[in-house]
Amino acid sequence: MANQTQQSPIVGKETSDDVEHFDAIVIGAGVTGLYALYRLRELGLSVMSLEHASGVGGTWFWSRYPGARFDSESYTYGYSFSEELLQEWDWKEHYSGQPENERYLNYVADKFDLRRDIRFNSHVTSAVYDEDRGVWTVNLEDGQPMTAQFFIPAVGSLSAGYIPDFEGIDSFKGDVCHTSRWPAKGMDLAGKRVGVIGTGASGVQLITEIAKVVGHLTVFQRTANYCAPLRNGSIDAETQKEIKASYPEIFRKCSETAGSFIHQFDPRSALEVSPEERLEQYETLWKESGFKKWLSNFHDVMLPGEANEDYAEFVRNKIRERVNDPVVAEMLVPKDHMFGSKRLPCESGYYEVYNQDNVLLVDVKNAPIERITPTGVKTSDKDYELDVVIFATGYDAVTGPLNLIHIEGEGGLTLKEKFAGGPKTYLGIATVGFPNMFTINAASVGNFVRSAEPLVEWVTETIRYVRDNGFTRIAATPEAEDEWTKHVNEDGAKILRSKADSWFVGANIPGKARALLNAPDPAPVMRAKRLEVAANGYTGFDLQ
Ligand code: NAP
């Protein structure tokens, strides 16, 4: 494919008649991809960022559904690498909404002149490792192939939207949409008969907003969720000043917690205090905003066991208090999974929606959806006539976005084949047979930006190390991969996050192997582990 190559004006970038070569190719211009581009460019590397969308933002570009917003405090979600950026940007709300979040990421892209190295509307179809030349060839649906020494699919954890394989979807005569691909021009739902399938964090946010405008809303719920009040509000000028003055403290606090959120657990056990004191703490925290009621609670609320169940019952009663019809209330009360075993959806009036006369909650666990008909949804016991069907049915998480690209490593092995029984990685970042590839979408969990930033820094530092020390190839060793995968599977099975049938373990996708998709370790442990690996000359990696 490549014939005569010539040195381009950009250091390290080479071109040929039909193939451009870069030091690194990053896929995705979301939060992680943008930062990877920035850092790699700072190293003096030639970098190409390929983005499917027409703009930056990743999930904050695509998930434009009404109600989409942060569940982490806005000022904990921004990049920390630039003091100037921190001081320039005013977060307007404590839990910022999608339009503002997209504006923020555009501001970052402009401020750091990132767009000149991003090719938008670029749909990557495959990435194939050439063992002889030690380069990755990246192919696009439209456009010439490119090659790079390093390949960084920063494709996001939650970017491959999942629509169940219901028969008849194409026959539906009205409008259909998935929350992760909400049209930029919006959807006209005013006065219409709208059906929403799914009541995870996306469904909960969406339902609350659209219930204000639709003619009639039918919510198809398979599993009730624990949801807690977000208590959002705007940030006044005084608070804005305080936030800007305390960024080092904010980020320090986040860096010390398991999920990189700002909230610290109460070190006491819920069971070591009296029932009165316990309840008082639950009530006090319940009045607070965001995840505080979850992550500042007694520490054992987040461990499988008695304390967890005690708090779960408190939350169930909070739900019961808000729904007028006791039958509907019981349908909304989760009883089949532990509190906190799924990410807690934060809401702003969700339960009150079910007190509206024009809202119907349908249990599709007992009477499953059988098919989509030309006029609506058919469950095993009834037909529901609808003008619009919205899928809030979640994502094929972590491995899903990687599997949308044909990623082929050494010996023709594809990543999809390799991960068919669950991910096999070293530290979630590298996998045997795929040299010079860093899967940075697989290693972050919790507050995504806080955990992604140090990860990107580690990867770019690793690339610097490889190049500065005269190596051309870095790959995980089979021993390190086996040991890490065993740790994720064995220790991961013990934690709360792996107890429910959720995207955390791939259980939301029929046929997907059940395996914890992110590391089970707290973020500080992961950071320390990565730094130790680097400090010891990249133990568990083979450098050539
Ligand atoms: P999700 O949590 O996976 O929820 C998907 C929903 O669709 C569930 O209620 C699920 O029911 C339902 N569903 C799936 N297949 C179905 C079927 N065949 N029939 C009926 N119902 C079906 O997805 P999500 O709501 O998009 O959230 C995913 C993650 O994205 C969250 O955990 C969070 O990390 C992130 N997120 C964050 C925010 C935020 O506040 N910042 C907002 C949205 C999303 P079952 O529970 O029975 O499987």
Atom of ligand 1 nearest to the CA of 199: 9
Instruction: Tell me: pLDDT of 13 over 70.
Output: no
Give the pLDDT score at 16.
61
Tell me the three state secondary structure of residue 48: strand
- Nearest residue by C-alpha to atom 12 in ligand 1: 198
394 Cα: distance to centroid of ligand 1 (angstroms): 4
- Regarding the beta carbon of 161 and ligand 1, being less than 6 Å apart is answered no
339 Cα: distance to centroid of ligand 1 (angstroms): 15
- Regarding the beta carbon of 70 and ligand 1, being less than 6 Å apart is answered yes
Residue labelled with tokens 């405090």: 73
- Regarding the beta carbon of 216 and ligand 1, being less than 6 Å apart is answered no
pLDDT tier at 143 (50, 70, 90 boundaries)?
confident
- Regarding the beta carbon of 199 and ligand 1, being less than 6 Å apart is answered yes
Q: What is the mean pLDDT of residues 118-127?
A: 98
pLDDT tier at 427 (50, 70, 90 boundaries)?
very high
Instruction: Tell me: pLDDT of 462 over 90.
Output: yes
- Regarding the beta carbon of 518 and ligand 1, being less than 6 Å apart is answered no
- Contact status, residue 60 vs residue 98, Cβ threshold 8 Å: yes
- Regarding the beta carbon of 364 and ligand 1, being less than 6 Å apart is answered yes
User: Which residues on neighbouring strands pair with residue 454, listed in sequence order?
Assistant: none
Predicted confidence (pLDDT) per residue in 170-199, tens digit: 999 999 999 999 999 999 999 999 999 999
Q: Provide the b/e sequence for 343-375 (b: ≥16 CB within 10 Å).
A: bbbbbbebbebbeeeebebbebeeeebbebbeb
Q: What contacts 537, CB < 8 A, 6 or more positions away?
A: none
Q: Kindly list the domain boundaries of the chain, sorted by start residue.
A: 14-56+114-160+397-543, 196-236+255-391
Q: What is the phi-psi region of residue 54: left when phi exceeds 0, alpha when psi lies from -120 to 50, beta otherwise?
A: alpha
pLDDT tier at 446 (50, 70, 90 boundaries)?
confident
Instruction: Tell me: pLDDT of 15 over 70.
Output: no
Give the pLDDT score at 4.
31
Q: What number of other Cβ atoms are within 10 A of residue 98's Cβ?
A: 22
Atom of ligand 1 nearest to the CA of 364: 20
Q: What is the mean pLDDT of residues 142-152?
A: 95
pLDDT tier at 441 (50, 70, 90 boundaries)?
confident
- Regarding the beta carbon of 508 and ligand 1, being less than 6 Å apart is answered yes
Atom of ligand 1 nearest to the CA of 180: 26
- Regarding the beta carbon of 223 and ligand 1, being less than 6 Å apart is answered yes
- Contact status, residue 348 vs residue 204, Cβ threshold 8 Å: no
Predicted confidence (pLDDT) per residue in 217-261, tens digit: 999 999 999 999 999 999 999 999 999 999 999 999 999 999 999
Angle at 205 between CA 194 and CA 222, to 5 degrees: 65
- Low-confidence winner among 101-105, 273-277, 445-449 (lowest mean pLDDT): 445-449
- Regarding the beta carbon of 341 and ligand 1, being less than 6 Å apart is answered no
- Nearest residue by C-alpha to atom 18 in ligand 1: 164
Query: Across the chain, what does the average pLDDT equal?
Result: 95
Q: What is the mean pLDDT of residues 259-267?
A: 94
Give the pLDDT score at 504.
95
140 Cα: distance to centroid of ligand 1 (angstroms): 30
pLDDT tier at 442 (50, 70, 90 boundaries)?
low
Which residue type occupies 125? Answer: T
- Regarding the beta carbon of 135 and ligand 1, being less than 6 Å apart is answered no
Instruction: Tell me: pLDDT of 311 over 90.
Output: yes
- Contact status, residue 254 vs residue 450, Cβ threshold 8 Å: yes
- Nearest residue by C-alpha to atom 25 in ligand 1: 200
Give the pLDDT score at 18.
77
Give the pLDDT score at 444.
58
Instruction: Tell me: pLDDT of 3 over 90.
Output: no
Give the pLDDT score at 355.
98
pLDDT tier at 14 (50, 70, 90 boundaries)?
low
Integer-rounded Cα radius of gyration of the chain: 24
pLDDT tier at 6 (50, 70, 90 boundaries)?
very low
- Regarding the beta carbon of 97 and ligand 1, being less than 6 Å apart is answered no
CA distances from 303 to 40, 110, 225, 292 (A): 39, 43, 18, 16
Atom of ligand 1 nearest to the CA of 504: 32
Instruction: Tell me: pLDDT of 414 over 80.
Output: yes
203 Cα: distance to centroid of ligand 1 (angstroms): 7
- Regarding the beta carbon of 447 and ligand 1, being less than 6 Å apart is answered no
Q: Which of 54, 65, 60, 156 is nearest to 391 (CA)?
A: 65
- Regarding the beta carbon of 198 and ligand 1, being less than 6 Å apart is answered yes
User: Which residues on neighbouring strands pair with residue 118, listed in sequence order?
Assistant: 49
d(Cα 77, Cα 355) in Å, to the nearest integer?
34
Instruction: Tell me: pLDDT of 10 over 50.
Output: no
- Nearest residue by C-alpha to atom 34 in ligand 1: 343
Instruction: Tell me: pLDDT of 423 over 60.
Output: yes
508 Cα: distance to centroid of ligand 1 (angstroms): 8
User: Which residues on neighbouring strands pair with residue 48, listed in sequence order?
Assistant: 25
Atom of ligand 1 nearest to the CA of 222: 47
- Low-confidence winner among 320-329, 384-393, 441-450, 529-538 (lowest mean pLDDT): 441-450
Class of domain 14-56+114-160+397-543: alpha beta
- Regarding the beta carbon of 159 and ligand 1, being less than 6 Å apart is answered no
The per-residue DSSP string of 89-119 comes to: ----BSS-BHHHHHHHHHHHHHHTT-GGGEE
- Regarding the beta carbon of 262 and ligand 1, being less than 6 Å apart is answered no
- Regarding the beta carbon of 200 and ligand 1, being less than 6 Å apart is answered yes
Instruction: Tell me: pLDDT of 7 over 50.
Output: no
- Low-confidence winner among 8-17, 113-122, 490-499 (lowest mean pLDDT): 8-17
